[in-house]
Amino acid sequence: MFHEKHLHFDDFFRNLPKKCVNVGAPTFLALILFLSLAIATRGDDAMNVLEADKAFVTATANPSAAALTPILAPQFNWIDSVGKRFSRAEVLEKTPTLANAQVAPEVKVYGRSAVVRANQGKMNVLRIWNRSKTGWQLLHYQEVRQVEKNEAPGGEEVTECINPCKQIPFKPATYSEKEAIDSWQGVMKAMAENDAALYSPLIAEEFVATDTYHDHPYTKADRLAQIEKQKSTGKHSAPPEMISADMYDLSGAVVMIAREQRKGAKAYFNTRMWIRRDTRWQMLFSFNTRIE
């Protein structure tokens, strides 16, 4: 389980078992050196991710398979602003044009995973990194171009939520994936039933929802306000159905790339990411690109 806490020397020594403190001087010094290196490495994670991200952006400026190969994870995906999805092999063969390449990226590190964003105007860019044995590798790249004015997602409204609230056409491969799906289905149920109390603990405080249908991203507070407003009208609507999905267990984080669709509307790719905090899995973001 990964906790986003800083490790302090005073806390470390206070909690050391006495038998560990009573070791010889060389062993004790080695222990201090090990701890110092661990803290330094952890503190450098954001910088290392940004360096890897810069290498990726540079490699796409003058596309080179040789330069991109060690950067892209084996499961790498690329989804452009019109919902076209490219595999790693396709990107290495013919690299698409990178959006917002000139934008200074922002990074948040979650243990062995990191989320990089490069947003400008209506164009939003997401890059998900994972630390492997060989270093930081890019797992996923996605673009969302938001509309100038909010629009309805379209399709027929369905009041009963079977898919995705109760059953989905996907079977998780790991226990963490299963727990993340259970958490997500709780969120879908909360939205279908306008239940803010159920929704809130399953969503991270830094949560941001970015989708093609709106003119700006929505925070957790925005989503809670939407739920309360929907509840006040007495109206209920079921979330879009899942058509298919891919999931990636990143040891402390889980990523899902789902293809979803409302009846009578265009399908879209929605990428979500969860991290485990305390006793529950919380969703960090929802990133939704309509397939044109």
- Dump pLDDT digits (tens) for 1-43: 444 433 333 443 444 444 444 545 555 555 455 444 444 445 5
**pLDDT score at 153:** 75
Contact between 258 and 242 under an 8 Å Cβ cutoff? The reply is yes
Please state, in angstroms and rounded to a whole number, the distance separating the CA atoms of residues 266 and 154.
Answer: 8
**pLDDT score at 13:** 40
Residue 38, token pair as written in the block: 């661990």
Contact between 238 and 161 under an 8 Å Cβ cutoff? The reply is yes
Please state, in angstroms and rounded to a whole number, the distance separating the CA atoms of residues 278 and 269.
Answer: 29
**pLDDT score at 35:** 44
Please state, in angstroms and rounded to a whole number, the distance separating the CA atoms of residues 222 and 199.
Answer: 12
What does 210-274 look like in DSSP terms, one character per residue? Answer: EETTSSS-EEHHHHHHHHHHHHHHT---PPPEEEEEEEEE-SSEEEEEEEEE-TTS--EEEEEEE
**pLDDT score at 7:** 36
Contact between 128 and 140 under an 8 Å Cβ cutoff? The reply is yes
**pLDDT score at 58:** 96
Closest CA to 244 of 235, 232, 256, 236: 256
Please state, in angstroms and rounded to a whole number, the distance separating the CA atoms of residues 191 and 174.
Answer: 26
Burial 86-117 (b: 16+ CB within 10 A, else e): bebeebbeebbebbbeeeebebebbbbbbbbb
| pLDDT exceeds cutoff 90 at 77 | yes
Give me the domains of the chain, ranges plus CATH numbers.
45-145 (3.10.450.50), 175-290 (3.10.450.50)
- What percentage of residues in the chain have a pLDDT greater than 90? 77
How does pLDDT run across 164-206, given as a tens digit for each residue?
Answer: 999 999 999 999 999 999 999 999 999 999 999 999 999 999 9
**pLDDT score at 89:** 98
Could you tell me the pTM of the whole model?
A: 0.85
Please state, in angstroms and rounded to a whole number, the distance separating the CA atoms of residues 24 and 258.
Answer: 55
**pLDDT score at 21:** 44
**Local structure of 147: helix, strand or coil:** coil
